[in-house]
Amino acid sequence: MKRTRIIVTHYGGPDELRVVEEECPEPKTGEVRLKVLAAGVSLPDLLMREGVHPETPPLPFTPGWDLVGMVDRLGDGITGFKPGQIVAALPITGAYTQFVCLPQRELIPVPSGLDAAEAVSLVLNYITAYQMLHRSAKVRPGQRALIHGAAGGVGSALLQLGRLAGLQMYGTCSSRGAAAVSDLGGIPIDYQHEDFVEEMRRRTSEGVDVVFDGIGGTHMWRSRKALRPGGRVVVYGLTSSLRGGRLVSGRPARRRRFHGLAIFALYIAGGWLLPGRKRMVPYSIQWLKRLKPALFRQDLIALLDLLQQHKIKPLIAQRFPLAEARHAHELLGKGGVTGKIVLMCNGANECAAGCI
Ligand SMILES: NC(=O)c1ccc[n+]([C@@H]2O[C@H](COP(=O)([O-])OP(=O)(O)OC[C@H]3O[C@@H](n4cnc5c(N)ncnc54)[C@H](OP(=O)(O)O)[C@@H]3O)[C@@H](O)[C@H]2O)c1
């Protein structure tokens, strides 16, 4: 049996995403082969393609942090899963494919009746948002939060989950995302035309309780200025290292996994040295999952339950066939995307628009 898979053979722009056809892998002992129904497309995928994300693997590699798939074949020693069952996983790389083999411990059962694209949005974006809200910031009802990039994948998840947590929310976005931010319960602030620090001072006398900053760089220090004394900035991304989907530095792309991380650490340390009782707290989904895998499982199950109860509704910006991964990267890099882009890896209408 053959499978289609996307590979990156050189670090660089969207043109470096190649479509290959090859023999389908067989599951080894302790592994399950999945037919991938939906794979998420996210900014971390673009950062890895450029070689600058800390998790960037050596070449060649298949991108794709998050997936929802159907159990297709069991390796030796597998118990508790059966062919046809729907599962979710966060392999960090390798999801842009029709079939993938993963260790059983990576798989989390997905309830039936969910849309595959909506379910996959939970695996990276909503877990990130949920853990930052409830584990890093430990938010309480009535608190004020500033969410940067609020119309994006993680940002829109923060708004939906923040509303459930009873937060008063402000969200920076470009004018294209303002309506979505309002619909999700946030007060939009146009980051291209307004100064968010001044806006926060004007709208809240002393500042907000928490800022979620996925933009990175000196932006984190400005976020700190929007805090009330005793507040915290949860820092979690490097959106500012890309412009138009390519490296702002303009340097030829190569594997520089620790460059961004070192700068990130420097800015956080700098923030600690500044006067005022304000904290900068880093968050990483992959490190929390490695250190405490049970929390990842517990939080994803809680989010799948919220989705099943219609308490959350991920925004799907666009669904692309797997072979159009390059267009998906171009679209995300261009900006102005509201919600999550998803690759439908075995046909968009596999089960009635991706319903599982
Ligand atoms: N630490 C973790 O565990 C973790 C997990 C997941 C993601 N991340 C990080 O989270 C960040 C967001 O990822 P994503 O997949 O949600 O990306 P996304 O969907 O592309 O969203 C990013 C959003 O940021 C907006 N934006 C860009 N520059 C901005 C600025 N200066 N001020 C305010 N908003 C701005 C964009 O708006 P326009 O396009 O309209 O300009 C876009 O809506 C990335 O840095 C990613 O690496 C970290």
Convert the pLDDT of each residue in 3-29 to its tens digit.
999 999 999 999 999 999 999 999 999
With 70 as the cut, is the pLDDT of residue 349 above it? Answer: no
Q: Is the CB of 43 under 6 A from ligand 1?
A: yes
With 60 as the cut, is the pLDDT of residue 208 above it? Answer: yes
Cβ atoms of 233 and 223 within 8 Å: the answer is yes
4: Cα within 13 Å, side-chain hemisphere: 14
Q: Is the CB of 186 under 6 A from ligand 1?
A: no
Closest ligand 1 atom to residue 177 Cα is: 40
pLDDT for 296 equals 98
With 80 as the cut, is the pLDDT of residue 270 above it? Answer: no
* Three-state SS letters, the chain: CEEEEEEECCCCCHHHEEEEEEECCCCCCCEEEEEEEEEEECHHHHHHHCCCCCCCCCCCECCCCCEEEEEEEECCCCCCCCCCCEEEECCCCCCCECEEEEEHHHCEECCCCCEHHHHHHHHHHHHHHHHHHHHHCCCCCCCEEEECCCCCHHHHHHHHHHHHCCCEEEEEECHHHHHHHHHCCEEEEECCCCCHHHHHHHHCCCCEEEEEECCCCCHHHHHHHCEEEEEEEEECCCHHHEECCEECCCCCCCCCCCHHHHHHHHHHHHHHHCCCCCEEEECCHHHHHHHCHHHHHHHHHHHHHHHHCCCCCCCEEEEEEHHHHHHHHHHHHHCCCCCEEEEECCCCCCCCCCEC
Nearest CA to ligand 1 atom 34: 149
* 223-254: burial string, b at 16+ Cβ within 10 Å, e else: bbbbbbeebbbbbbbbbebbeebbbeeeeebe
Closest ligand 1 atom to residue 43 Cα is: 15
Ligand 1 centroid from CA 155, angstroms: 7
pLDDT for 258 equals 78
Q: Is the CB of 254 under 6 A from ligand 1?
A: no
pLDDT for 266 equals 81
User: Would the CA dihedral through 88, 91, 92, 95 be positive or negative?
Assistant: negative
With 80 as the cut, is the pLDDT of residue 271 above it? Answer: no
Nearest CA to ligand 1 atom 36: 149
Ligand 1 centroid from CA 214, angstroms: 6
Nearest CA to ligand 1 atom 23: 149
In the predicted model, what is the mean pLDDT of residues 155-184?
98
Q: Is the CB of 245 under 6 A from ligand 1?
A: no
With 60 as the cut, is the pLDDT of residue 352 above it? Answer: no
Ligand 1 centroid from CA 42, angstroms: 9
Return phi, psi of residue 260, to 5°. Answer: -60, -40
Mean pLDDT over all residues of the chain? 94
In the predicted model, what is the mean pLDDT of residues 88-113?
97
pLDDT for 350 equals 45
- What digits encode the pLDDT tens for the residues 28-63? 999 999 999 999 999 999 999 999 999 999 999 999
Closest ligand 1 atom to residue 174 Cα is: 40
Ligand 1 centroid from CA 2, angstroms: 35
In the predicted model, what is the mean pLDDT of residues 222-244?
94
- What digits encode the pLDDT tens for the residues 276-285? 789 999 999 9
pLDDT for 355 equals 57
Q: Any idea how long the chain is?
A: 356
In the predicted model, what is the mean pLDDT of residues 308-333?
98
Cβ atoms of 242 and 46 within 8 Å: the answer is yes
Q: Is the CB of 332 under 6 A from ligand 1?
A: yes
In the predicted model, what is the mean pLDDT of residues 226-243?
94
Q: How confident is the model at residue 351 (pLDDT cuts 50, 70, 90)?
A: very low
Taking CA atoms, 31 is separated from 2, 28, 79, 95, 212, in Å, by 19, 5, 10, 15, 37
Ligand 1 centroid from CA 74, angstroms: 37
161, amino acid identity: L
Ligand 1 centroid from CA 148, angstroms: 8
83, amino acid identity: P
Closest ligand 1 atom to residue 286 Cα is: 3
Q: Is the CB of 69 under 6 A from ligand 1?
A: no
Q: What is the pTM of this model?
A: 0.96
Closest ligand 1 atom to residue 283 Cα is: 1
